[in-house]
Amino acid sequence: MNANEKDVVVLIGSGQIGQAIARRVGSGRHIVLADLKQEHADQAARVLENTGFTTSTLAVDISSRSSILGLIDHAQQFGAIKYLINAAGVSPSQASVETILNVDLYGTAVLLEEFGKVIEADGSGIIISSQSGHRLGALPQEETDQLAMTPTEELLDLPFLKAINDTLKAYQYSKRCNVLRVMAEANNWGKRGATVNSISPGIVITPLANDELNGPRKEGYRKMLSLCPAGRAGTPDEIGDLAEFLMSHKGRFISGSDILIDGGTTASYWFGDLQYLKQTH
């Protein structure tokens, strides 16, 4: 690495959770902010630049392998890629089944595959998944194996995925696939001396979450939060703290894992006061 190069942090999805993680691992490094919308990446970059971080931005569509490869080329201009943070995705209320599967499932699988070829030794990756993947019941072993190990370009042709016609189900399958692909790809990342893990947050207070908590379905969301063991939503900083641990020297023995951080909501969904939600999901 020459004098002008730095270790690089690649952040995909420039929202509050991604920024919280980047703040914790980006000091003294170059942060590449990638987002589907250039203006969102630029806005996040201004915030980080004004607090002392070095950044660049790029518009990236993670449902496109060529766009992901372009992101890698851009990042490598500044140095070796040390950290990958994928906080991009679309929710069941934001997109169609096709878009959710293309972005959340296929796109994440491609990111894991391509960044696993270039990640620096002692580097680390974090995939932001969701508690929603933990609300999908046990899958047949064949489906589990296929989600984990099917060649990436064949994933969307799996018959059980092509049969999905509900956006929530598409989201849940995508998030389960994220966790399984992290497990499978950890083997390849490990050969480069790097770790990769997923984090599955519950409801975390961001502008989007605040919209939901004050929108037409606010009573349902607020009831769910009040009945979960923690009695509240999470914050981006709490997700950032967990990611920092996983990406630091303290987390070097953790790879291929998924950490559920939802204030106990999933535990209550299956075995506690939130079991009523199973009737509507």
* Virtual torsion, Cα 46, 48, 53, 56, nearest 10 deg: -50
What is the C-alpha to C-alpha distance for residues 50 and 23, in angstroms, rounded to an integer?
Answer: 12
What is the C-alpha to C-alpha distance for residues 80 and 90, in angstroms, rounded to an integer?
Answer: 29
Which H or E run contains 36?
A: none
Which H or E run contains 140?
A: none
Residue 159: CB atoms within 10 Å = 8
Q: Among residues 134, 126, 215, 218, which one has the least CA distance to residue 176?
A: 134
Query: Is 175 annotated in the active site?
Result: yes
Query: Is 171 annotated in the active site?
Result: yes
- Give the rounded distance of the alpha carbon of 131 from its chain centre: 11
What is the C-alpha to C-alpha distance for residues 33 and 12, in angstroms, rounded to an integer?
Answer: 6
* Catalytic option among 175, 218, 223, 276: 175
* Catalytic option among 83, 171, 173, 269: 171
The residue type at 11: L
CA end-to-end distance (rounded Å), the chain: 51
Is the separation of the CB atoms in 198 and 134 below 8 Å?
no
For the record, the structure tokens of 82 come out as 């040390």
What is the C-alpha to C-alpha distance for residues 16 and 85, in angstroms, rounded to an integer?
Answer: 12
Active site (catalytic) residues: 171, 175
